[in-house]
Structure formats: structure tokens, C-alpha cells
Amino acid sequence: MPGPHDLHFMKALKAHRAGNVEGARQILQAILAEDADHSDSLEVLGMILSEQGELDRAIELTERLVGLAPESIMAHANLSRYWMLKGDKETAEEWQAKARVLGWKEEIGRKGGSATGTGATERPVDPDEVARQEETVSGDPDNVIARMALASSYMKLEMPVKAVGHLREALARDPEMSILYLNLGKALEAANMPTEAIEIYAAGVPRADERGDLMPRNHMASRLADLKKRQADSAT
């Protein structure tokens, strides 16, 4: 059952939606004067203060919120935005990285601790490791191996579209690496893009042949044949 502060908080939201920002601010400040740890009021008042240019106060309230709710993705993301508005990009990126890690943890939680289809004994994706992989790619975008590792993590998290983007970038940087064609084709299949997967496998098979890479060559040839058969069956 909502308490009196919660009911006042709803009045503040109603006032804000009606365009009465100052009225909403006064209600929220009154709530926090009685309950300094009312998390919803801390979040919304911080947002109002940031819009009014009072960034230091907004940061102070939102950091208090993080102390109360350390798993709050929104609080971390808001802090990133406030620091960016202050012109401190480095601090903003630190808070954004923390928000991203929390996002990975939430994603894994929704999937029961590990991505499906990766095998019962495979180690679940570590969100901290994914964040580090993202930072590596951001700092060294030409690092093909780093992009492959990040794409693999995305695939385990069942986020194939993100994997496709990094694998395309990797392939553009090293079109001779046949395993990239295989991995990109599999990601395209997972992203429900069979026509594009066929094109990649068709380009990858002769490239693997030239290099004598039998494993990726045979794997791609098998998947290519299966995709073409399925397309032919669906056309009849």
C-alpha cells in the first residue's frame, strides 16, 4: 500500500506532466525534507534540476540514489548524462560503463543466467568482461580479434544483430580470414537474415578453399546447402 510520500510523489508527477515544473519541484523537495531517502523523488527531482541547469545538485541527489539503489540502471545513465552536460566526458563515460554492466546483468537475469543454445556446460557471459571487450573495440576499432570476441559474447546473449555489425566491420578489415565469413553467416542466420547469410557463405567457401581452411570451408558449405534447400522448399 502506498504511503503518504508516495501519494505526494504522484501529485508531483501529475504537476510535471501538466507543465507545472516549479510546482512539481516544490512537492518533491517537501517529500525529501521529510524523507531524504525517498528514491523516486531523488530520481525525478534530479532530472528537473538538470533541466534547470542545476547540475551539481542533480548529481548530488542522483549519487544519493545510487547509494540507495546500486542496481538502478536509470540512475547510472542519468549521472552519465549530467556529467556530459557539465563537459566532463571522462566521468560521463565511467558512469555510462557502469550502466552498461548493469544492463548486461539484467539481460542475463532475464535469460536465466546464461544464453540458450550455448551448451549446458559453457561458462555464462560475464557482463564485466563484455564491458571490457566493448572498451577494447572502442579504443582499437581495427582490432579484428577483439571484434570477434565481442561478437561471440553478443551471440551468447542472443543479440545477433549486434554481433553482425562487429563481424561485418572485422571482415572489412581482414577479408582473408575465412572464419569471419563462417561466424558472420551464423550471426546472420540467427538474426533471421538467410539471404545475406547465403551471400556470405558463398563468398567464404572459395576464400577458405584458397587458404586451405578445411574446417570453416566444410562448415560453410554445409550451411550454404541447407539454406538453399530451405529457400527452394519454401518457394514450392
Q: Which CATH number fits domain 136-235: 2.40.50.140, 1.25.40.10, 1.25.10.10, 1.20.140.10?
A: 1.25.40.10
33 DSSP 8-state letter: H
Please determine whether the domains at 4-110 and 136-235 fall in the same fold group of CATH: yes
Specify whether the CB–CB gap between 25 and 58 falls below 8 A: no
pLDDT of residue 107: 65
Tens digit of pLDDT for each residue in 40-78?
Answer: 999 999 999 999 999 999 999 999 999 999 988 888 888
Q: Which CATH number fits domain 4-110: 1.25.40.340, 1.10.3720.10, 1.20.870.10, 1.25.40.10?
A: 1.25.40.10
Distance CA 48, CA 53 (A): 9
pLDDT of residue 47: 93
Specify whether the CB–CB gap between 49 and 58 falls below 8 A: yes
Distance CA 129, CA 152 (A): 12
Residue 212 has pLDDT above 80, yes or no: yes
Residue 29 has pLDDT above 60, yes or no: yes
The three-point CA angle 150-154-158 to 5° equals: 170
Residue 70 C-alpha cell reads as 546500486
Tens digit of pLDDT for each residue in 107-157?
Answer: 666 655 544 444 434 456 677 778 888 888 988 899 998 899 889 888 888
Domains of the chain by residue range: 4-110, 136-235
